[in-house]
Structure 1
Amino acid sequence: MRNAGKAWRRWWGVGASSAGQVVDLPIAAMLGILHIGVVLQLCLCMASLIHDPHMVWQIWVMTAAAIACSSVIAVWMFTHRSYRLPWGLGAVHLAITVMALVVQGIYMPRRSQLGDWDVWAPAYADLTVATLPAWISGAALAIGVGAGVAAVYVAVVLPGNADLLSSVTMNVVGYMMFVVAAVILLRVARHMAEQVERSHSEAVRLVGELRIDRYLFHMHNASGLLARLSRDDIPDSMMPALRMQAAREASRLRVAMTSRPESGSQRWSLGRVIANATSGFGHLPLEVNDLLGRHVMLPIHQAMAVQMALITVLYNVQFHARATEVTIHAEDHGDWWEVSVADDGVGFDPSAVHYGFGLRHQVVEPLRSEGLAVTVTSAPGEGTVVMMRSCPDGTSHAGWN
């Protein structure tokens, strides 16, 4: 039993060639088990009726054919982990059912034609019509074929049983309900499979874009450091800090190229985000005031966007601002939070200067894509303030970029 359980779990969870095949597994298991059950019922029925005078050789042949066909269908569904039957196998299944209805209608007593297992063909047809959408893709065609099976049943059963018209009618309604329900179920399953495939492809694409964006982020910072280190006018006192930053960027770049993106279920505190971002900028005249906001918890992708934005802003301050004071302030306002980076450097005129790669692709666009508001305020000689803020209603605040 333990080995059987392991084999079942292995069949259920391993070997799917696509994400959409996972959707097929429960339906394949259900239909496969139903066909196995029908095979067992047919075998028991034949064993109990072996001496029945009505059991002519034609019925024995049809019974053997039905057992063989349902066995093949069950094996096919379990081995292929899919309910989607080959057209030929489905057509053989349908033909055996129709022929069994006709043969039993000819040789078995008229009053026994209402679906008891001594006359098994009418009951067997229930499973046949339920299996039709597994190999007939068109909904209208599958329902039409199901109606045809019901018509054959009426034609072979109703003569001689006119006083049981209501029972025959209910069996016909049952056939139609089985085929319609199966059509709806399998069409929904196919739609789910397509959705899973599209979602999987989109996830792969987004992961690729995320890795490229992170790689470009680190390349931008690393190239800025290399350009800085290549200059002859770097004060000796700055070299240790720049070397440490270069080592950190090299490590970050290696991680970005080899590691998987963090799990979307993770959350980082704003304090951790700020600490990660400011690590390596100890040589700046930096003051961190995050006491009022360090406890705020951010989803991992939002946290990474804020962290990369802070790193980019601090590099801009280091390379361009010539600031004597830089302040990072974080505050939690209940349903929203904000983080600002303010420096007293040379500043610039935002209306006259186009944002470069860093501000545009590593600050503004990533934060907007995470539903955060960002604004850059600056003026020549008056320093620069970069403000990042969450939006409680999911939209940017009025007047913000």
Structure 2
Amino acid sequence: MAAAGASVLVTVVTLIRRRPLGAAASTADFALACTLLVLAPHVLAPGERFGTWVAYQPGYALSVVITASGVRSLVLWAGGLVSVVVCYLVYLGDNGAGMTTTAMGNELTYVVYAVVARMLFNYIRRIAHDADASRALVAELARGEEERRARVLMHNGVAVMQLLANSTPGGPRSGLADLAEVEVQRMRAYLRGRSTATEEDERVDGGGQVTLAPLVERMCDRFADLHADTLLDLGASVRLPAGDAEAVESALESLLLNVRAHAQAHNVVIHLDEDSPGRWALTVSDDGVGYDADAVAPGVGLRDVVIGELQHRGLDVAIASAPGEGTTVTISGSCPPSDQGEGHDRLADVR
């Protein structure tokens, strides 16, 4: 009854805890198995110790050796195994002398099953540890990606709000207000978990592509006070997946915000060109104060909104600047086939 009750209890506890027995329970289990083996000769006839249903003690001890192999303490496991083997010799007594081969086989059964079970438990633990580490890594990568998306999304909006707050009464408040409205809509879409480039957007055709030139023209209209010269005819046919076009739009907005806030430029030129079949380039140049690109680390706008987001989508970004010589930023990439635009956009979003 003690062995049956212990077996049921161990099974129930293991299922509830969903893990092997702890050190205390394993110690008690080993102790019970050894006690039953030592006391068995007093309740069993000499002929009942081998190959009978009456002698349950060796089988129970084997089940204990297997289940207790999951205990983390190597000393406890090895000590329990040795104790069971020694107690089994006591259990055999003088009967083992006439059946040496069978007795040795039974002893080895304890050892082999214990080692195999121990290896299995350790292997499962390693798999579980690797799975936990993988989940933690995925969670960390997802958190980092979400932080990057938030920085990219919020940067232009914050810059617009700052310019709007610091603008003079005679300044370009109307254009800034329009930009602020666009950024508010973009932030609202982000907070609601929706893409800011929706299928309902009139700029997106049935293949999920956007013509780049009108997008650039509309963005320049929002910065009318810069009086930018737009040369877009050579790239009038450039079409991009909606996600790539949205990234280029945000990058262009960030660049023009930098021109307005820092460049002190008199002239701004925006040039779109399709220089070879499938290759395009968008260049933003100003004659402002410039900066030393090697000595000055890029801010959030250049680092995340322009370089980071565009490179994340497979587009190239080149920045040339020097003190007193203005700044030129070139964004370039390849135009995907029209029938692949939607799939390319989804792939970029997954990356």
The aligned counterpart of 1:386 is 331
TM-score when normalising by structure 2: 0.67
- 1:330–1:339 CA contact under 8 A, matched in 2: yes
**How many equivalent pairs are there?**
297
Is 2:251 aligned against 1:312? Answer: yes
> C-alpha displacement at 1:66, in angstroms?
0.8
Decide whether the 8 Å contact of 1:341 with 1:386 is kept in 2: yes
Where does 1:1-400 land on structure 2 (aligned, <5 Å)? 64-80=1-17, 82-134=18-70, 136-157=71-92, 159-230=94-165, 231-232=167-168, 239=175, 242-257=176-191, 259=193, 282-284=218-220, 285=230, 287=235, 289-290=237-238, 294=241, 308=247, 311-317=250-256, 320=259, 323-327=268-272, 340-346=281-287, 348=290, 350-351=293-294, 354-365=297-308, 374-378=316-320, 380=325, 383-387=328-332
Aligned-pair Cα RMSD in Å: 4.1
For 2:200, the equivalent position in structure 1 comes to: none
Post-superposition Cα deviations, 1:104-150, rounded to whole Å, max 9, x if no partner, equal 2333233432354321111122210011133x322343133213212
Aligned to 1:265: none
Q: What TM-score comes out, normalization by structure 1 length?
A: 0.60
* Superposed CA offset, 1:309-357 (max 9, x none): 7622443046528544342769999xxxx87432354475644754232
Paired with 2:102 and 2:275, the residues of 1 have a C-alpha distance of: 76
Contact residue 133 and residue 186 of structure 1 kept, 8 A: yes
Aligned residue identity for 1:376: A
Using a 3 Å threshold, how does the CA distance of structure 1 residues 355 and 138 change in structure 2: closer, same or farther?
Answer: same
Relative to 1, partners in 2 of residues 1:325 and 1:260: Cα closer, same or farther, differing over 3 Å?
closer
Report the CA distance shift for 1:328/1:198 in structure 2 as closer, same or farther (over 3 A). Answer: farther
**Structure 1, gaps ≥5 residues long:** 1-63, 262-270, 296-302, 390-401
Give the superposition deviation at 1:207: 3.4
Output one character per residue of 1:261-306: Cα deviation in whole Å (capped at 9) or x when no partner. 9xxxxxxxxx858779x96962434656545x759xxxxxxx78x9
Is this contact kept in 2: 1:98–1:152, CA < 8 A? yes
SS in 2 for 1:159: helix
Partner deviation per Cα, 1:360-392 (whole Å, 9 max, x = no partner): 233445667x59685414354684313469xxx
State the match for 1:48 in structure 2.
none
Shift of 1:244: 4.4
Distance (whole Å) between structure 1 residues aligned to residue 19 and residue 277 of structure 2? 54
Contact 2:320 2:328 in 1 (8 A): yes
Say if 1:101 and 1:156, in contact at 8 Å, map to a contact too: yes
Quickly say closer, same or farther: Cα 1:313–1:260, change in 2 above 3 A: closer
Which region of structure 1 is more displaced relative to structure 2, 190-199 or 95-104?
Answer: 190-199
Contact 2:151–2:304 (CA<8 Å) still a contact in 1?
no
Q: Helix, strand or coil: the match of 2:21?
A: coil
* SS of corresponding position for 1:84: coil
The whole-number CA distance in structure 2 between the counterparts of 1:175 and 1:332 is: 74
**Cα distance change on mapping 1:371 and 1:228 into 2, 3 Å:** closer
Q: CA deviation digits over 1:173-217, x for unaligned, max 9? A: 221122112222222333333334444444444433333332222
Say which SS state the counterpart of residue 283 (structure 2) adopts: strand
What code does the residue aligned with 1:76 have?
Answer: V
Q: Which has the higher contact order (CA 8 A, sep 6+)?
A: 2
Q: Against the structure 1 CA distance between its residues 387 and 74, is the aligned structure 2 distance closer, same or farther, given a 3 Å change threshold?
A: same
